[in-house]
Amino acid sequence: MEVLYARCCGIDVHKESLVACVRVQEGRRKHTEVQSFGTTTAEILRLHAWLSEAECTHVAMESTGVYWQPVFNLLEGSVSVILANAHHIKAVPGRKTDVKDCEWLADLLAHGLIRASFIPPADIRNVRDLTRHRKSLIRDRVKAANRVTSYSRARISNWATS
């Protein structure tokens, strides 16, 4: 099968770790290198430096909860990042490890077999985040008002019965 991306990377994203596989195709020879990273900003920047050093042009990762978002945000400007739906890239059943998952992602990406999920532009994502935050603040305000009201009613009820 034809290789579309000679230098690419597959990242298996978890809550506390990232396992990345850089796949380099030179002629008929394929070379892979796997490294693990944490999920702190410093660790994601270390991942970014590693990808830059390997001259990686494309990165693919699964859409695992919300854990992909910081990785996407920090890599977005420097490499082409493809967010893949987990159901579309299931590997062959068997022994499943983080290393096998990231290698599978890198291999699928190299051959152009991953369909990217839609991710809105950064300004739209920021507006969405602000809207969600505003909604949670309003919900918290209503909860606090209800607590004060129920506390006041309980105090008045106790005063009236005594």
Question: What does the domain layout of the chain look like in residue ranges?
Answer: 7-110, 120-162
The CATH class of the 7-110 domain is: alpha beta
Task: Write out residues in the chain with pLDDT < 70, as ranges.
Answer: 91-95, 159-162
Average pLDDT, the chain: 90
What confidence score (pLDDT) does residue 86 get? 79
What are the φ/ψ torsions at residue 38 (nearest 5 degrees)? -85, -175
State if pTM tops 0.85: no
**Tell me: the pLDDT tens digits for 41-80?**
999 999 999 999 999 999 999 877 889 999 999 999 899 9
CB-based contact 97:48 (threshold 8 Å): no
Calculate the alpha carbon distances from 135 to 53, 65, 122, 148 in Å.
42, 20, 20, 20
The dihedrals phi and psi of 7, each to the nearest 5 degrees, come to -125, 100
CA distance 36 to 30: 20
Closest CA to 80 of 109, 102, 42: 109
